[in-house]
């Protein structure tokens, strides 16, 4: 099997395990940002994801860092803490409640809260 096919298969497996990984991501996010609320939106929330889909995860807090570099560091911390591979499908959006409202509105009502 080619390296690309192997990576694609591993990524598809992570997509199929999205519930487990969303809970893990939420746990780490809540350790770092005490008021974090975590949601899944997009194709996964609609129930029409495929192996090549990404998993859109909203991490919402009043205390979101303002600087893009600080947000990137927070994402990297979560990825490292969970030992996520470079090809993982989890698209983490770290947002204020106001920013998250726009994402949720565009989701067409397909929003899953992760507790």
Q: Which residues pair with 55 in a beta bridge?
A: 90
Whether residue 70 contacts residue 107, with contact meaning beta carbons closer than 8 Å, is answered with no
Q: How far apart are CA 53 and CA 24, in angstroms?
A: 19
| Chain segment 73-93, per-residue pLDDT in tens | 999 999 999 999 999 999 999
Please give the class, per CATH, of domain 3-114: alpha beta
At 25-65, the pLDDT tens digits run 999 999 999 999 999 999 999 999 887 889 999 999 999 99
Q: Residue 45 and residue 56: Cα distance in Å, rounded?
A: 9
Q: What residues contact 100, with CB distance under 8 A and at least 6 apart?
A: 39, 58, 60, 93
pLDDT of residue 4: 53
Residue 88's nearest CA partner among 41, 21, 34, 3 is 21
Closest CA to 25 of 95, 96, 80: 80
Per-domain boundaries in the chain: 3-114
């Amino acid at each position: 099997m080619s390296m690309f096919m192997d990576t694609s298969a591993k990524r598809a497996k992570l997509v199929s395990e999205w519930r487990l990984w969303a809970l893990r991501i939420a746990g780490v996010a809540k350790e770092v940002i005490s008021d974090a609320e975590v949601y899944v939106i997009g194709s996964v929330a609609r129930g029409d994801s495929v192996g090549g889909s990404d998993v859109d995860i909203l991490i919402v807090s009043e205390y979101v860092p303002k600087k893009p570099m600080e947000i990137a560091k927070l994402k990297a911390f979560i990825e490292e803490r969970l030992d996520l591979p470079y090809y993982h499908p989890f698209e983490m959006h770290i947002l204020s409640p106001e920013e998250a409202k726009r994402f949720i509105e565009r989701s067409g009502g397909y929003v899953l809260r992760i507790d």
